[in-house]
Structure 1
Amino acid sequence: MSDKMALIPFKQLLHWVMDENKQSGMVFGIPEEKYFRKANDRNMKLFGEAIDTPVGPAAGPHSQLAQNIIASYMSGSRFFELKSVQIMDELEIAKPCISAEDECYNTEWSTELPIMGAFEEYVKAWFLLYVIQKEFFAQSERRFMFNMSVGYDLKGIQSPKVDEFIEGLKDASQTKIFQECQAVLREEMGLFQHVDQAFVDQISPNICNSITLSTMHGCPPAEIEAIIRYLISEKKLHTFVKMNPTLLGYDYVRKTFDKMGYDYIDLKEASFTHDLQFSDGVGMLKRLKVFASEHKKNFGVKLSNTLPVKITRNELPGEEMYMSGRSLYPLTINLAYKLASEYKGDLKISYSGGADAFNVDRIFATGIRPITVATTLLKPGGYQRFKQLADLLDPLLDNQESSRLDLDKLKALADSSFEDANHIKESRDMLSRKTSLKLPLLDCFIAPCENGCPIEQDVPEYLRLVGEKRYEEAFDVIVSKNPLPFITGTICTHTCMTKCTRLDYDESVHIRGQKLVAAEKGFADYMQKISKVQPKSKARVAVIGAGPAGLSAAYFLAKAGMNVTVFDKREKAGGTVEFVIPDFRISREAIKKDIELIESMGVKFEFGVTPKISVADYKAKGFEYVFLAIGAGRTNALEIQGDTERVKGAIPFLEAFNTDRKGLNLGKKVAVVGGGNSAMDAARAALRVEGVKEVYIVYRRTKDYMPADEEELAYAQKDGVIFKELLTPVSLSGGVLKCQVMELGPADASGRRSPVPCTGVYEDLPVDTVLSAIGELIDYDLLKTNGIEVGEKGKIKVNDETLETNVENVYLGGDALVGPWTVVGAISHGTKVARAILEKEQLEFKQEFASRITFDKEKQLLDVRTKKAVMQPVYDDEQETGRCLECNYLCNICSEVCPNRANLMIPVEGEGLTNRNQILHVDGMCNECGNCETFCPYDDAPYKVKMTLFWSEKEFADSANTGFVILQEAPALIVKLRLKGEVMEVAFDQSGNTNASIDRSLAAFIWTVVQQYPYLYKV
C-alpha cells in the first residue's frame, strides 16, 4: 500500500456527503447525534467577520484534506487553521508519523500534498461547507472562517508557487478548481432541497483574509519579523505568528516536566539556545503591533508551536519528533500569561496547546480566541469531540472581538495548570490499553476491559443492566463467570479498568464499584431462584484450600453436577481475603455472602484439617481428583542486618491484626517495606495498633512506580501513612533503620526507570518495628513430597491449559503455582481447573447466563452514539454506568481516530457475522500515519489488516493488504480479491451470491459495499 493520499474529486465528495447523510444520517462518519446545531444567535467576531464557534482544527492532520475539514465542521468547528504549506512540498515523511497514545508526538512539518493540491482541497472544502450549512442547517450567511498557514523562510514564502497559493486563497475566482466546483454544483441541483443556483453563484471566492506564520524552530528573529512585515504590508493579511514553547527556557521546561511526571521526555537543550529568546520576542512583537496598526491589520500570536524532543523509545522513526497535547498545556498557558503580562493584556492570542473539554471554556474566558486543537481529536471519539467543545463555548459567546485579555483569569489558569489532574502524568498512564489478540478481518468489535480481565467478565453487559436497574440480571451475568462478586466488587485489582477505552477520554469507568452495586442489590432476588444441582457424576473432587482459587473451582464443579468437598486448615472459608485482608478494606459480611452463593451449589466444607497435605491420602479416601489451592505458604524474608527480631512479615502481622489487634506490640514507629497492596494494608493496619504514632512506607522507587492500586495509595495517604521514596533498608539497630538513598536511572524501552544507589548516601529513620511486605514464596517442599515435579528456576511443571500436574488428576493453581497473585487471577485458575475436570467427566462447563438478557437495540445504539466523544467526570454510582462506551457493541475506534476518514463502519447483514458492524479500510484515503494502530485494542494495525477497498488496479497491485478492487459492475459484479495472499477474481450474481471459495460473510461484506455505498468509489 502507498502512503500517498489520492485526492477525491469534488463531484465524488459532494455525492459522498449527500448520499451518506441521506442513507445513514452521517457525514464522513459523524452521526446526526453529533452534528452541532446552533442553539442561539451568539457569535464571535474575528478580523471583522462573525463565526459561530471559536474552535477548530489546528494546522495539522485534521485540516489537510477536504473531508477532514467537513468532518470538523459537522461536529462544531467554525475556525479552520489550514495545514501549513512551504516551498518544500510533497515531503517524504517516514511512517508512521503520529504517536498519540498519551501526549502526542509527530514528525510532520507541513502538508504532505503538493502546494496546489493542498489549495484544491481547501477550495473544495470551502464550497462544501457553504452547501452543508445551507442544506443541513438552513443557514445562508457564512459563519465559518479559513485561516491559511505558511512557513518557513521569506524566500520560500515569496516563491512563485507559495505566492500562487496565498493569492489563490485571497481570491480563488479565476482558478480552475473554483470554477469546477461552481460548475459541479450547478449540474447537481437535483441533490438539494435548499441550495439553489443563486446561492451557489454568491459563494465568495475570498477564502482567506488571514494567515498564521508557522515559524521553524531555530528561525532567526530578523527573518521572522521580515516575513510578518511582508505578509501584513505586501499580502495585506491579518497575521498570527506561531511562537514556540522554547521561549520559556530550557530550565523552566525541564523543571515543569519533571514536576508533572514527564521526566522521561528527553529535551534538546540546543533547541532552546538556537531558538528565539523571550526578550527578543517581546521586542519583535511590540514593533509588529505598531506596524500592523499602521497598516490597519490585526496582528497577534499563535500559542504555541510544538516542542522538539529526542526520540528515545522508538516512538517514531528518526531522531527527533515534535510534542503536543496535555503535556504542552502548562507550558503554553504559562507562556500566554507571560507574554500577555508584557502588554498588560493588550495582545491577541490564538491558542493551541493541550486545549480540550476540561479547560477550553476557562481558556476562552480569559479573552483568548480562537482556540484550535489536534491531539484531542486523535483520541477515540475523534472529530466528534468538537461537539462538546462547541457546546461548552456556545453560551459564552458575546458577539464581540476580543480586545484585551483578562490577566487575573489568565494568571489563575496558568498557576492551576501545574496541579491540574488532567495534565499530570502518572507512571500508570504508561500501561498499554492494547490486548494481546490479533485483529480479525471481520467481527473485530471487542470490549478491551473483558480481555483485560483474567476471567473475561462480561463487563459492558452488566454495566448496562445496572444502569437500567436490572440488578438481578446484572448479578446473573457476573456470577456466570465469577463466584465471588462481593469480594471482587470490593478488592479486585480491576485489571479491566487498565484497558478501559475511557482512559483515552478522562478516567476509567469504575467497573469494580458497579459490580458491588449489582451484588448488593441483586443478591437476595437471585438467591431465591437458585435450585440445588442434581449430581451428574459419581466422581468426587477434593479441593485443598478455601481461598479464591479453591472456592471458584468448587463453584463451577458443583454447578455442573460434581460432588465437591473443600478442605481447609482454618475454621472457615475465605483464605487470604478472610484472614489477611483487614476489615477496613472488606467487611466479613461481604465475604460471607460469596461463601453462601458457593454453598448454594451444593459444595461441602471440612475445616480444621491437618496442614500437612498428602495427595495420596485424599485419593485413598475416594477422591478421583485433587486440586491444590493452598496459597504461597512462605514469607519472603527481608535481607537486613541488625535487630532482625524486630523485623516481621507483613502477612503474619495482618493475620494477627485480624485475630487480636490488642495483643500486638509494635512500638511507636513502624516501617513497612514494599509498595504493593499488602504493604498498604500493613501500613494502615499498623496505624490502628495501640501505641503506634507513625508509620512509614519505605520503597526503593518513587510512589508513582508502586504496584499498589491507586485507590489503596490514596487511602494510605489519607490515613496518615508517611511515604519514604527512593530508599532501600540496609540495617536496623538501636531503633534506627538505616536506608541506602536511591535515584532513578534512565528510562528503559517501557519508560520504567530502575533505581540505582547514590553511593555513600544514607538516610536514618527512627523505627521500632519493620514489617516486610516484599512478597511470599511457594512451598516447593510440600509440592515435591507429593510427587509434583519442579523444574529449573522453580518453574512447576503443569499443563498450561488445564493446570494438571505430572501426577494424574492432581491440579495446582493460585498462589501455590505462581506466587502472590490477585483474587481474580486465582478465580481464573479455579475456572480452568474446573473446566479440565468436567471435560474429563464429559460434563458441560456452565458459564451461560441463567436468564435471557435482552436490550432495546435502537436505544442502545442511540445511547452509545450519544456518549461517544464526551469527556465526562465521575459523578456517582447512579450515573457511572452511563460512562461505559460498550465497545463490544459499537467500537469504531479505528474510524474515529483516523484524521482522513480512511476507516469506515459498514453495517452488513450476513450469515456467520457476530456483529452487524464491520470495518472497511479505503486505501486511497490513508497516509499510514499509524494513529489507528495506536488506539486499536488489538495488537495490530487496522490500516494493514482490515478489508481494504482499492480505487484502482494499480493501488491493488502495490499493496499486500487483504482487499478488493472492482473490475466490473454490470451486467454482473466482478471484483479482484486478495485473501490470505492469494489473488482471485470473484463474480457475483444478481442476488449477491458467488461460487468462489470465500466465506459467505466476506461475500456479503463486499456485496454490501458495492451495492449500498457507491459513493465510496464512484466519481
Structure 2
Amino acid sequence: MMSDKMVQIPFNKLVNWMFEEYKRTQTIFGVSEVKFFKKTNDQQIKLFGETMETPVGPAAGPHTQLAQNIIASYLSGSRFFELKSVQIMDELEIPKPCILAEDECYNTEWSTELPIMGAFDEYVKAWFALHVLQKEFFNQSDRRFMFNMSVGYDLKGIQSPKVDEFVEGLKDASKTAIFKECLASLLENVDQFEKIDRAFIEQISPNICTSITLSTMHGCPPAEIEAIIKYLLSEKKLHTFVKMNPTLLGYEYVRNTFDKMGYKYISLKEESFTHDLQFKDGVEMLKRLKAFAADHKKDFGVKMSNTLPVKITKSELPGDEMYMSGRALYPLTINLAYKLAAEFKGDLNISYSGGADAFNIGRIFETGIQPITVATTLLKPGAYMRFKQMADLLDPLMANQQSSKLDMEKLKALAESSFDDANHLKEKRDVINRKTELKLPILDCFIAPCTVGCPIEQDVPEYLRLVGEERYEEAFDVIVSKNPFPFITGTICTHNCMTKCTRLDYDESVHIRGQKLVAAEKGFDAYMQKIPTLKPVSSAKVAVIGAGPSGLAAAYFLAKGGMEVTVFDKRAKAGGTVEYVIPDFRISREAISKDIKLIEKMGVKFEFGVDPKVSVSEYKAKGFQYVYLAIGAGKTNDLDIQGDTERVMGAIPFLEDFNSNKDALKLGKNVAVVGGGNSAMDAARAALRVKGVENVYVVYRRTKDYMPADHEELIYAVEDGVIFKELLAPVSLTKGVLKCQKMALGQADGSGRRRPMAVEGAFEELLIDTVLSAIGELIDYDLLKSNGIEVGEKGVIRVNEETLETNVENVFIGGDALVGPWTVVGAAKHGTIVAKAILEKEQLVFKQEFISKIAFNNEKQLLEIAEKKGVMKPVADHKLESDRCLECNKVCNICAEVCPNRANLMIPVNGKGLTNMNQILHVDGMCNVCGNCATFCPYSSEPYKVKLTLFWSEKDFQDSDNSGFLVVEDGAEVVVKLRLAGEISTVKFDESGKTDVQIDESIAAFVWTVIDKYGYLYKI
C-alpha cells in the first residue's frame, strides 16, 4: 500500500526548489531551459481586459492542481491557466489509479483532490511564483499571463461559505494568510534575486482571477446551469465561461462519429445524452445569458468542451463510468463549436479544449477561437514541454487576430475536415502496446524500447544517429554486429521495434526499417572492402540444414566465432522463403544477394541441391560434430473446403511458382485468397499481377481490423486493388462458385480478438476460378521423429529453451521448424541462440561487438535529445528519420515527464556499479497515485511503486511498501531510515558520504547524492 495524498510545498521552499534545481541541472520542475518559451515579438492577446503572451495553457485538470504543475506549464509556454475545478465536496475518496491516457484519455475524477482552501493556497503560491519567473528569467515587469478559476456543480454548493471564500479570495487575495505569507517571503529574500526588487514584489496584484469557468456536471438541469451563470455574472461580477458537454450532439451523432473513425469499442450510455442539456434548449439558454451578461457589462462565452462519459467495460479503471478526452474527442468538440457558433453567426466567445495539440492548435486559433487549453497531450511523453511547440506555432499567428467574431468559413472547414484528419483516426495508433515484458529495476532503468522489442536486440538508436550524421559505414557496422540481413530486414522486416517506439506516443513511430536500408545501401561497399574473409580457428565443424534466415544467421555467427560451417539446402540458392516465396515487388533479388555475400565473407560454405531427408546421423558420419536443423515448416496447412479441390492451391507453392515463372500461371479471372496474414497479402498482390486475372478477393472470417497482416501490407493490398471480403468462411467451391458461410463477431477469445461465429442459414456466393489458401504451414514432425527428435503433446518439440538443443546431443533446431511460420528476424533470433550455444561448448567467443570504435559528441547529443523532447514531428521523409529518434537508451525520463505533479525526478548520480549517470527518484509526497507513469513506462511495472522513493515523514514511510529512504537527522552526520526489498535499516552517512553499515554501493551513491546536492528535495 501507499498514500495517495499529496503534500503541499511551503512557498519559500517552492521558490528555493526552483532556483536550486535550475542551478544544478538547468531545469525547473523537470522542464529543461531549452524548453523555456521566450516571446519573439510584441503581439499579445486580450481577454477579459487582461493580457496574455500566448492564448494556450493547461485545462482544468491534473496539470493545474499544484503550484509546481502551473510553474512547469508557464516555463514551457502556457500563459492562460484554467485552474482545476473545485466543488463543495472536497474530501473525495477517489479510487486509484484514476487516469489512463494510453491513446485517447480516460479519467474517473478530475476535480481537485485537495480541500478547497488547500487548492486556493496552491493557486496563490503559483501566482507569486510566475511573477518571480517572468521577471527573473524573462525580465518582464508587466504581467503577461492570466488565471481563470473553475467551479462546479450546483448553485447551492457554489453559494456555500467555503466555495464562496475560494471565489472571493481569488478575486482579491490581499487579506488572505497565504497571500501575506508569499509576499513576506519574497520581501525577506529579495537579495537572492538578480532582477527583482521590493517595488516589483509590492506591485504584485492580489486580484488573481477576474473570470470563472463553470464546469457543468453531466445531467445538471438546464435551469440550474442558467441560475449559476447569472449568479456568477451578477452577484460575483465575474466574466464567465460555461462548459458545454459533447452530449449536446446527440447519441446517434456521437456513436456514428466514433464508428466511422475507428472507435467502435467506446461504449456509450444513451441516458448520458437524454439526461443532459439538449441542443435546442442550450442555444436558447445561451442567447438569454449573452443578453444578461451584456446588461451586467460582463463577458460571457462557452467552453468547448467537457469530457464525455463512457462505460468502463474492461476494468480499465476502477468503477463503472469514466470520462473521455483527447484526440477522439476532437471531431466532436470542433463540430459542436461550429454548430453552436453557427446559431450565433460567429458572435460567440469560445474557449476550446477537446483534443487540441500541436497538429491542430494553429488551425483552431485561426478560426478566432481562444484561449485553447489542453490536458491529454500533456499526459504523454514530452508532457509539459509540449507547450513550447504549441506556443511557438501560435506566436506568428497572433498578429492576424483582429475581429471579435469567429471566422465561420474556417471553422466550418475545420469541422468538416476533422472526420478525415489522420491524427484523430484510431488507426493512427491502433492496438499497439509499447510495454515490454521486462521488470523495472530500482536503478539504471533507461532502455530503448525499440531495441528490447527487437528479437535480436538491434542497437537502434545508435545506428539511427550514425545515419543522421551520414556515418553510414559505422551504422552498417552497428547493424551487422547482431544482424546478418541488413538489406532483407531493411526492406521486409515486420519491425517489432517500431511497435515499441516512444514516438508512437507523440505522433507515429520512427521509420526504423527504412533507416536500416539507408545504412545498408550506403555503407555496404565500404564495409565489405574493409573486413577480411574469415577463416576457422576451431577443428569442430557445424552442418546447418536449411539456407533460410535462421540457418544463415547461425552460420554467420558461428563463422564469426571461428568455426567451420557448411550450409546445406535442397534448393539452388540461399535465402529460403525470402528468396523463393516473397515476391520481387516486395524485395529485389539483388538486395537478398548482398546479404548472402556478407555471410559468405565470414567464411560460410554452401552446398545446394541436397536431399532434405538426409539424416542427422549421416551428417555426423561426415565429420560434423554439430547439426542445426533450420529446415522451415515444410508442410502446407490444407484448407477444409468441399467441391473442386483441384482449383485450390497453397499460397506458398503459388508464390514459388510466381517467382519462378509467373507467365506460366493460369488462375482464371477471379481469385480468392483465404487468410489475413502477410502471406495472404503477398499472394493477393501477386495474383493481381498474373495474366488474365481481373479480380482478387481476400476472404477472411473476421473483419479487416483483426487481420494479423502488418498494417502497411493491408494498405499496399488496397492500393493494388485487392478486394476485402470480411466475415466470410469458405465452405465449398463448385463450378466456379465459392460458397461462404457468413460470420459475426462474438466475444473476445484468448488472443483478444473477437471470436467469429457462424450466422445460421446465411451464406454468400462469389464467382471464383482459383482459391489460394494462406492459412499457414505446418512443421514436418515425421522428418524430426525419424531423426530421433522427441516431440511432446500438441506438437511441442522438446528443446533446451536457452540453447535450442534437442534431446539428441549436439543437434539443435530453430526457426519455422521449431515454432511454425515465423518472421525473418524471429528466425534470426533462433539462429543467434544456437550459434552462441555451440560456440560456448567449443569455448569460443560469441562476437557481437562493433568493428569500429563508435564515438559520439556526448554534450552535443544530450542537447539534441533535450531539444527533441515534447516536439510533435511526423514523418517527412522516410529516408531522413534519425532526427525524430528520442534516443531513449541515453535519456528516457518518461516517468518524470508524464507525471503531472513532478513526483518522479531525474537525478544525475556518479557511483560505482551504475551504468547510467541519470537515475529516477520518486518523491512520495508529490504523488497522488494517478497511474500515468505506469501507462508510459516501457517496463511492465509501475515506477511509482518500484523506483527508489524519497519520503517526507515517518508516517508516509511506514504507510508505504516502496524501497526508499527518509532523512531522520541532518547534521554533521546524516541519519537515514532505509527500506530495501522490505528490509528496514538505519544508515549514517559521514561528511564524505561513507556509511556506517554496508549497503549496496549504488544505492548509497544515489542516497548520498540527494543528501549532498539536492537537500531542497527533502527539506520541506
TM-score calculated relative to the size of structure 1: 0.99
2:103/2:429 contact within 8 Å kept? no
Give the letter for the 1:795 counterpart: V
C-alpha distance 167-748 of structure 1, shift in aligned 2 (>3 A): farther
Q: Deviations over 1:2-60 (max 9, x none)?
A: 10000000000000111112222111010011000001001111112110001100000
Taking the TM superposition and a 5 Å limit, the aligned residue runs for 1:464-503 are 464-503=465-504
- Residue aligned with 2:687, SS: helix
How far did residue 399 of structure 1 move? 8.1
- Residue aligned with 1:656, SS: helix
State how far apart, in whole Å, the 2-side matches of 1:543 and 1:536 are. 18
2:815/2:822 contact within 8 Å kept? yes
How far did residue 743 of structure 1 move? 2.6
- Residue aligned with 2:420, SS: coil
C-alpha distance 816-726 of structure 1, shift in aligned 2 (>3 A): same
- Residue aligned with 1:691, SS: coil
Taking the TM superposition and a 5 Å limit, the aligned residue runs for 1:147-226 are 147-226=148-227
What residue number does 2:754 align with?
A: 753
Give the letter for the 2:906 counterpart: M
Taking the TM superposition and a 5 Å limit, the aligned residue runs for 1:447-466 are 447-466=448-467
State how far apart, in whole Å, the 1-side matches of 2:371 and 2:731 are. 58
What residue number does 1:820 align with?
A: 821
How far did residue 878 of structure 1 move? 5.2
What residue number does 2:993 align with?
A: 992
Give the letter for the 1:294 counterpart: D
What residue number does 2:1002 align with?
A: 1001
State how far apart, in whole Å, the 2-side matches of 1:623 and 1:309 are. 65
What residue number does 1:445 align with?
A: 446
C-alpha distance 363-749 of structure 1, shift in aligned 2 (>3 A): farther
1:540/1:564 contact within 8 Å kept? yes
State how far apart, in whole Å, the 2-side matches of 1:38 and 1:727 are. 59
How far did residue 719 of structure 1 move? 1.2
How far did residue 203 of structure 1 move? 0.1
What residue number does 1:316 align with?
A: 317
1:862 aligned onto 2:870: no
Give the letter for the 1:701 counterpart: R
- Residue aligned with 1:355, SS: coil
What residue number does 1:799 align with?
A: 800
How far did residue 189 of structure 1 move? 1.1
Q: Deviations over 1:640-673 (max 9, x none)?
A: 1111111110000000001111110000111111
State how far apart, in whole Å, the 2-side matches of 1:750 and 1:399 are. 53
Q: Deviations over 1:558-588 (max 9, x none)?
A: 1111010000000010000000001110010
State how far apart, in whole Å, the 2-side matches of 1:71 and 1:760 are. 62
1:45/1:401 contact within 8 Å kept? no
Q: Deviations over 1:781-824 (max 9, x none)?
A: 11111111111111111111100111111100000000000000
1:583 aligned onto 2:560: no
CA RMSD of aligned residues (A): 1.2
- Residue aligned with 1:845, SS: coil
How far did residue 1000 of structure 1 move? 1.4
Q: State the number of aligned residues.
A: 1019
1:268 aligned onto 2:269: yes
Taking the TM superposition and a 5 Å limit, the aligned residue runs for 1:250-649 are 250-398=251-399, 403-426=404-427, 429-649=430-650
State how far apart, in whole Å, the 2-side matches of 1:391 and 1:338 are. 29
1:935 aligned onto 2:936: yes
State how far apart, in whole Å, the 1-side matches of 2:65 and 2:50 are. 23
2:368/2:401 contact within 8 Å kept? no
Give the letter for the 2:871 counterpart: V
State how far apart, in whole Å, the 1-side matches of 2:682 and 2:311 are. 41
State how far apart, in whole Å, the 1-side matches of 2:560 and 2:212 are. 71
State how far apart, in whole Å, the 2-side matches of 1:428 and 1:14 are. 40
How far did residue 1006 of structure 1 move? 0.7
Give the letter for the 2:716 counterpart: Y
State how far apart, in whole Å, the 1-side matches of 2:893 and 2:168 are. 40
Give the letter for the 1:387 counterpart: K
How far did residue 967 of structure 1 move? 1.4
State how far apart, in whole Å, the 1-side matches of 2:961 and 2:103 are. 30
What residue number does 1:85 align with?
A: 86
State how far apart, in whole Å, the 2-side matches of 1:748 and 1:837 are. 40
1:430/1:751 contact within 8 Å kept? no
- Residue aligned with 1:879, SS: coil
C-alpha distance 747-620 of structure 1, shift in aligned 2 (>3 A): closer
State how far apart, in whole Å, the 2-side matches of 1:535 and 1:857 are. 38
What residue number does 1:100 align with?
A: 101
How far did residue 704 of structure 1 move? 2.0
What residue number does 1:36 align with?
A: 37
- Residue aligned with 2:424, SS: coil
Q: Deviations over 1:225-253 (max 9, x none)?
A: 00000000000000000010111111111
2:354/2:374 contact within 8 Å kept? yes
- Residue aligned with 1:905, SS: strand
How far did residue 700 of structure 1 move? 1.6
Give the letter for the 1:913 counterpart: L
How far did residue 746 of structure 1 move? 4.4
What residue number does 2:131 align with?
A: 130
2:366/2:401 contact within 8 Å kept? no
- Residue aligned with 1:843, SS: coil
What residue number does 1:48 align with?
A: 49
C-alpha distance 711-878 of structure 1, shift in aligned 2 (>3 A): closer
1:59/1:82 contact within 8 Å kept? yes
1:613/1:782 contact within 8 Å kept? no
C-alpha distance 901-162 of structure 1, shift in aligned 2 (>3 A): same
State how far apart, in whole Å, the 1-side matches of 2:333 and 2:116 are. 30
C-alpha distance 828-761 of structure 1, shift in aligned 2 (>3 A): same
What residue number does 1:958 align with?
A: 959
How far did residue 428 of structure 1 move? 6.1
C-alpha distance 850-665 of structure 1, shift in aligned 2 (>3 A): same
Q: Deviations over 1:514-552 (max 9, x none)?
A: 001101111111111112334221111000000000000
252-261 or 161-170, larger mean C-alpha shift: 252-261
C-alpha distance 749-137 of structure 1, shift in aligned 2 (>3 A): farther
Give the letter for the 1:390 counterpart: A
1:875 aligned onto 2:876: yes
Q: Deviations over 1:110-140 (max 9, x none)?
A: 1000000000000000000001000000011
C-alpha distance 427-745 of structure 1, shift in aligned 2 (>3 A): farther
Give the letter for the 2:29 counterpart: F
C-alpha distance 86-487 of structure 1, shift in aligned 2 (>3 A): same
Give the letter for the 2:333 counterpart: T
State how far apart, in whole Å, the 1-side matches of 2:668 and 2:801 are. 46
What residue number does 1:145 align with?
A: 146
Q: Deviations over 1:681-713 (max 9, x none)?
A: 111111111111111111122222211112211
Give the letter for the 2:887 counterpart: E
How far did residue 747 of structure 1 move? 5.1
2:551/2:831 contact within 8 Å kept? yes
How far did residue 968 of structure 1 move? 1.7
609-618 or 161-170, larger mean C-alpha shift: 609-618
State how far apart, in whole Å, the 2-side matches of 1:179 and 1:894 are. 36
2:535/2:602 contact within 8 Å kept? no
C-alpha distance 677-804 of structure 1, shift in aligned 2 (>3 A): same
C-alpha distance 221-55 of structure 1, shift in aligned 2 (>3 A): same
State how far apart, in whole Å, the 2-side matches of 1:428 and 1:231 are. 42
- Residue aligned with 1:606, SS: strand
What residue number does 2:115 align with?
A: 114
What residue number does 2:913 align with?
A: 912
State how far apart, in whole Å, the 2-side matches of 1:402 and 1:796 are. 74
Question: Percent same amino acid among aligned pairs?
Answer: 77
How far did residue 994 of structure 1 move? 1.8
Give the letter for the 1:879 counterpart: L
State how far apart, in whole Å, the 1-side matches of 2:772 and 2:464 are. 39
Give the letter for the 2:771 counterpart: V
State how far apart, in whole Å, the 2-side matches of 1:128 and 1:706 are. 53
Q: Deviations over 1:587-629 (max 9, x none)?
A: 1011101010001111100000112131111111111100000
State how far apart, in whole Å, the 2-side matches of 1:484 and 1:735 are. 43
- Residue aligned with 1:731, SS: strand
State how far apart, in whole Å, the 2-side matches of 1:186 and 1:746 are. 66
How far did residue 754 of structure 1 move? 2.7
How far did residue 931 of structure 1 move? 0.2
C-alpha distance 402-753 of structure 1, shift in aligned 2 (>3 A): farther
How far did residue 401 of structure 1 move? 7.3
